[in-house]
Amino acid sequence: MTDSDTDKLPALLGFPKRYPFLTLILQRLGLSVILLFAVSVLIFAGVEALPGDFASTYLGQSATPQAVANIRQDLGLDRPVTTRYFEWLGGALHGDFGTSWASKQSVTEQIGRRLGNSLFLAFFAAIISVPLAVGLGMLAVFYRNRFPDRLINVISLAAISLPEFFIGYLLILFFSVNLGIATFPATVYDTMSFGERLSAIALPTATLVLVVLAHMMRMTRAAILSVMSSAYMETAELKGLSAFNAIVKHAAPNAIAPIVNVVALNLAYLVVGVVVVEVVFVYPGMGQYMVDAVTVRDMPVVQACGLIFAAFYILLNMLADIIAIAANPRLRHPR
């Protein structure tokens, strides 16, 4: 579908051209669906191209060729790739991701439990990191080129430079090993109370917050500083408006579009990028589930997790585009 086709879509559905915002939303929805379809093809093809074979892994090195062939036939791996792809895609559209080759259980049911755990972790990381990042970004602008601004920049650069697994192990060493005040969810997580869950996700949440906080804070600072150099901001300052009021009332609202974009990207990372954090902390979420499936070549699970992660990433990016367009009327009327 070309750009001209997406431009005609609202008119075909009965929406006149005088509704540019609705037109842009429909365009984003159409492009998101097309992108998700393309990603599903790449995921299925990529998983098919992975080295190794579930039948050989399951039966071991002593397996005979006939035994391997029988397992492959039972799993349907002897059928054409295109046939298996469209069957998998059709099932995914109906919420059925098939049966796990390793556990013989429904992938959808297993993902339902694991996805809730990952979203629980990502939610608390988001409600801490987003307000903190925006607040620190505005604080850095208010004290720009002074000690608080330089301190925030140094800390953010250090946080960006450290990979999440290293930050996680540092937190484990300090809070769990040295101080003994942090616990891990492990396998009893599903039977914990709400308060025990909050205690158990303290270290994984702190790791995610430190990873995404620095990037969001720096982008917030850059976006607001870009607006601060505008002529109308200089006029506001010349009229006697204080720096704090200028930032809060004028600069921040006009910088909302890039801030929303970077926040959405980092929220997508909180859902999609939890794989490493979940493995480090043995957290029973989607990331840990997918890594375990890769280890035993459980391809239905790997494909389902990959598609769900991609869907979240595309959805959050689409929402970021829509919010940015709603916040900035100039984006509704491209030159």
DSSP conformation letters of 229-267: TSHHHHHHHHTT--HHHHIIIIIHHHTHHHHHHHHHHHH
Same structural domain for residues 203 and 67?
Answer: no
On the 0-12 / 13-18 / 19+ scale of CB atoms within 10 A, 32 is: middle
**Left (φ > 0), alpha (ψ -120 to 50) or beta: where does 333 sit?**
beta
Non-local CB neighbours of 322 within 8 Å, separated by 6+ positions: 24, 25, 28
Contact 121, 198 (CB under 8 A): no
Three-class secondary structure of residue 69 per DSSP: helix
Tell me, yes or no, whether 335 lies in a domain.
no
| Whole-angstrom distance, CA of residue 244 vs CA of residue 249 | 8
Range of the domain at 28: 3-93
pLDDT of residue 225: 79
Same domain, 89 and 119: no
* Same domain as 172, residue 58: no
Count of structural domains, the chain: 2
Domain for residue 56, yes or no? yes
99 forms beta bridges with 106
What's the pLDDT at 15?
A: 46
Asked if 88 and 98 count as a contact pair (C-beta separation under 8 A), the reply is: yes
Does 109 reside within a domain? no
**Structural domain includes residue 104:** no
Residues 37 and 128 in one domain: no
pLDDT of residue 188: 46
pLDDT for the residue 296: 78
* pLDDT value at residue 41: 92
Residues 180 and 271 in one domain: yes
Which helix or strand (DSSP H or E) is residue 94 part of?
none
Do both 67 and 150 map to the same domain?
A: no
Same domain? 172 vs 306: yes
CATH number reported for the structural domain that contains residue 175 in this entry: 1.10.3720.10
- Please indicate, yes or no, if residue 99 is contained in any of the structural domains: no
Same domain, 73 and 129: no
- Averages of pLDDT over runs of 10 residues in the chain (335 residues) are 51 52 82 91 83 64 70 76 88 86 84 86 88 85 83 82 85 81 57 77 87 83 77 72 72 73 80 82 85 83 89 86 72 57
* Amino acid residing at 61: Q
Model pLDDT, residue 220: 81
- Asked if residue 182 and residue 41 are part of one domain, the reply reads no
